[in-house]
Amino acid sequence: MGRIAGVFKGRSSTALIGFTVAGDPDKDTCVRIARALIHAGTDILELGVPFSDPVADGPTIQRAGDRALAAGTTPDTVFAIVRDVRGHSDVPIVLLTYFNTVFRRGIEKFYRDACAAGVDGILIADMPVEESGEVLVAAKKNAIDQILLVARTTSDERLRTIAANAGGFLYLVSVLGVTGARSGVPQAAFDLVRRAKAVTDLPVALGFGISTPDQVASCAAHGADGVIVGSAIVDLVEQNLKDHAMMLHRLEGYIASLRAALQEPSGER
């Protein structure tokens, strides 16, 4: 059993998936951020590979990507960060990237290097399932879960196709649009959880726009196996760039508040 499957197997509470941008604001600080997120209760760590044209990301994560690129972050840096984190933790690590980054390195080489570094899953944000054949082969060969996105507008027929090819968990996009904190989780996101669970036994995780304890608790109460929180974490990094000790303290407190919300009975608050 892989590390991602191990997180979901037999658990009684919804898994917390925490996202940060690899290399933001620099390599060493990013490693400390990742370790703080894990220490505070993140079940799966998601690292965004910085890219110059991140079409799925809102302003917060775009700025983080710019900081990481300005600091000289490359895919090699990302793999080094994974190795550093893996040296201290067995928590599953997922990379969120874009196809151009994978293609430029070579699909097989990217996946081979990711596996060697200790990556458990990869999500290519701009890769439709219909064009995933070569990637799926590389993922299987290197024992990496290929995580696939499902939008609210996805038909039931296409949802089945995505689920049949996905690994690890289905990443359900809770909003229409790009990443970024929202005031609430729309009912349509919970409808998507129900639809996904009707066609697959894979765990389903809601992401995009989720940021508060009340929101993660609501996702849990509506049956999500995992909740992905990103922009709110990256916001805390950005707000504390001049005081890294405070940054890490605030990140740990924030993750602890989300963890507590998910551990309350049935996700209710």
| Tens-level pLDDT at each residue, the chain (269 residues) | 899 999 999 888 999 999 999 999 999 999 999 999 999 999 999 999 999 888 778 889 999 999 999 999 999 999 999 999 999 999 999 999 999 999 999 999 999 999 999 999 999 999 999 999 999 999 999 999 999 999 999 999 999 999 999 999 999 998 764 454 555 688 889 999 999 999 999 999 999 889 999 999 999 999 999 999 999 999 999 999 999 999 999 999 999 999 999 986 544 43
d(CA 259, CA 196) in angstroms, rounded, equals 24
Active site annotation includes 84: no
Catalytic pick from 24, 26, 53, 57?
A: 57
User: Which CATH entry fits the domain spanning 13-267: 3.20.20.70, 3.90.79.10, 3.10.50.40, 2.60.210.10?
Assistant: 3.20.20.70
d(CA 117, CA 95) in angstroms, rounded, equals 11
Strand residues in 100-196 grouped as ranges (E)? 121-124, 145-150, 170-173
The answer to whether 22 and 59 are in contact (CB under 8 A) is no
Nearest to 46, CA basis, from 64, 70, 67: 64
Active site annotation includes 46: yes
CA 29 to chain centre: 19
Nearest to 16, CA basis, from 227, 213, 168: 227
Q: What DSSP state is assigned to residue 56?
A: T
Catalytic pick from 46, 84, 120, 145?
A: 46
d(CA 7, CA 145) in angstroms, rounded, equals 13
3-state DSSP call for residue 256?
helix
Strand residues in the chain grouped as ranges (E)? 15-21, 44-48, 93-97, 121-124, 145-150, 170-173, 204-207, 226-229
